[in-house]
Amino acid sequence: MDLIGISLNHRTASVELRESLSLSNTEIVELISTLKQSLLKEGLVISTCNRTEIIGVASSQNVSFDDLINALLNFKKVDGINSESFEKYKSVKIIEHLFRLVAGIDSMLIGDNQIFKQVKDAFQIADEQNFIGFYFKKIMDYSLHLGKRVITETAISEGAVTVSFAAVQLIEKIFSNLSKKSALVIGTGETGEIAAKHLRDRGVARLALTNRTFEKAERLAKELNTAVFPFDNFKDHLHKFDIIVSATGSQDFILSKSDIEKTIKKRNYESLVIVDIAVPRDVDPDCRNIENVFYNDIDSLNIIVEQNLLKRRNEIPKVEKIISEELNNFSDWLNSLQVSPIIKALRDKFESIRSEEVQNNINKFSSEDKEKLEIITKKIINKILHHPTVELKKFVNDNSTQDLNRMKLSVIQELFGINTIKEQEKN
C-alpha cells in the first residue's frame, strides 16, 4: 500500500491562495472522479476555509506529489502556485496528519471541533463516490473513533475562543436560562449580525435589532424573524431588555451612563448585561459602576478568549497521547494485514499436504484406524505449526523491528511458496 498525500493549509499558504483552491462539495465529487482515473485507488478530499487536502492510496509507485498537486491546480485552473505551498506526506505520516486534523490540534483555532464534522462529511462524500476502499474504510473507522475519544476524554474543544462566543459565555455566567431573556442588538454590521445570530442560536426568548440605517436592520430582522426598532427612539425601549449588545461604527458613545442609570431604574434594578463589541466603544464604560449592570467591552472578552486558548493549549499533550495510542492501534492492524494471510496460507498448505498423504495411504489402514489417522495427523500438524503461529502473531505487536519482521515474513513466504498480500488487497 502506497499512501500519499498533499495539504495546502494555513501554515503553508495565504488566505487568498487557500480561497483560490477551496472546493465545494460538487467540485470534490468531480475531483474524486479525476483522481480515480489514474492517480489514486482510494482516498479522501478535504476542503475547508483553511485547508484543501488530498490523501489516498496511489494507483502505482510512479504517482508523485507533483501529480496530485497538478491534478488539483488543473482542476481549479489556477496557475503560478509552486509545490512549496503544499505539505507532503507519505505512508503512516499521512495517518498521523489526519489524526491531528480530526483531533483539532492542526487547526488555526486549536480545538476547533468543526473540522471533525468536516472530515466526517469528506469521508461520506468519498464513500458515496466509491472512493473508500479496503484501507480507507479502516482509516475512516480509526479517525472517527479518535475524534470521539478526543471530545470525551479531553477539554480541547471547551470554552469560547471567539469574541462573540465569549460574549455568550459571559452572559451565561449571569443568567441561567437565555430562553427567558430578551436581547437588543444595536448596529447590524458584520459584527452585530454575527452577535444577533449567536444569540438567536442560543435560544434567546426575544431578540430585537436597531440600526442607524433602518432598512439594513429590517433586512436582517426579516432573516432572523425578530423585531426592529427605529434608531431614533430605541432608548425608550432599553429597559425591556436583559442583554444589550452594541456594535455600531459610531465615533462617540451612543449610550451614556445616565441612559443606563435610567434604564436600570425602570428595570427595578434587575440585572442588565451590556456587551460593547464596538471599536471605538458605544457605551460609556463608567456604567459598570452601576449596581446590577454588567458591562463588558472587547478587551474583557478578549481576556476570556485568551484564557480559553491557553486552557486548550494545555490539553494538547493529552490529545497527542490519544493520537499516539490510536496510531499504534492502526500500525498493529497494518502489520496484522501482512501476518494473518501468511498464517492462514501456511496452515492451508500443511493441511493440503496432510490430507493428500492421508488420502494416498488410507487403504493401508483398517476401517477402525482410519478415523484415528485423521485425528493423529491433524494433531501433528497443529503441533508443528503452533510455535510458528505464535511467533508470527508477535510480529503484529512488535513495531520496533518492522524491517526485520518484513524480511522474516518474505523468507517464510519464499520457503513455503505462499503469496497472499495481493489477494488480501484485492478482497
Partner 1 sequence: MISTIHLLNVLLPIFYFITFLIYLYDFQKEDKTLSNSKRLFLFITLCVHLLYIILRTIAFDHMPITNVFEIFTLLAFSISFSYFILELVTDIRGTGMFIIILSIAFQTVSSFFIKDLFFVREELRSNLLGTHVFSALLGYAGITISAVYGFLFLMLYNQLKQNKFGILFDRLPNLEILEKLCFYSAVIGFILLTIAIVIGVIWLPQSNLNFSYTDPKLLGTLAIWIIYGIGIFRKIYGKLRGRKLVIVSIIGFILAIGSTIISNFLAKSFHSFY
Query: Which residues lie near partner 1 (CB under 8 A)?
Result: 170, 172-177, 268-271, 288, 291-292, 294, 296, 299-300, 303-304, 307
**Nearer residue to partner 1 within complex by CB, 290 or 392:** 290
Minimum Å gap between C-beta 297 and partner 1 is: 9
Question: Are the C-beta atoms of 166 and 308 separated by less than 8 Å?
Answer: yes
Per DSSP, the three-state class of 175 is coil
**Nearer residue to partner 1 within complex by CB, 172 or 425:** 172
Residue from 1, 49, 303, 384 carrying the catalytic annotation? 49
**Nearer residue to partner 1 within complex by CB, 106 or 282:** 282
Minimum Å gap between C-beta 183 and partner 1 is: 15
Minimum Å gap between C-beta 279 and partner 1 is: 16
Gap between the Cα atoms of 327 and 315, Å rounded = 19
Q: Is 287 a catalytic residue?
A: no
Transcribe 12-67 into DSSP letters.
TS-HHHHHHT---HHHHHHHHHHHHHHTEEEEEEEEETTEEEEEEEESSTT--HHH
Gap between the Cα atoms of 238 and 185, Å rounded = 11
For residue 5, what are the β-bridge partners? 55, 89
**Nearer residue to partner 1 within complex by CB, 194 or 287:** 287
Instruction: State which H helix or E strand residue 94 sits in.
Output: helix 92-103
What one-character DSSP code corresponds to residue 186? E
Strand order in the sheet with 40-48: 40-48, 51-58, 3-9, 87-90
Checking DSSP bridges between strand 3-9 and strand 293-297, what pairing results, if any?
A: unpaired
Minimum Å gap between C-beta 278 and partner 1 is: 17
**Nearer residue to partner 1 within complex by CB, 307 or 402:** 307
CB atoms within 10 A of CB 265: 11
Minimum Å gap between C-beta 120 and partner 1 is: 24
Minimum Å gap between C-beta 113 and partner 1 is: 18
**Nearer residue to partner 1 within complex by CB, 59 or 307:** 307
Minimum Å gap between C-beta 240 and partner 1 is: 16
Picking from 70, 82, 78, 85, the residue whose alpha carbon sits closest to that of residue 39 is: 70
Gap between the Cα atoms of 378 and 64, Å rounded = 50
Gap between the Cα atoms of 67 and 72, Å rounded = 9
Radius of gyration of the chain (CA): 32
Residues 6 or more apart in contact with residue 349 via CB below 8 angstroms: 416, 417, 418
What one-character DSSP code corresponds to residue 86? S
Residues 6 or more apart in contact with residue 30 via CB below 8 angstroms: 75
Minimum Å gap between C-beta 269 and partner 1 is: 7
- The dihedrals phi and psi of 225, each to the nearest 5 degrees, come to 60, 55
CB atoms within 10 A of CB 370: 13
Strand order in the sheet with 272-276: 227-230, 206-211, 182-186, 243-246, 272-276, 293-297
Residues classed as catalytic: 49
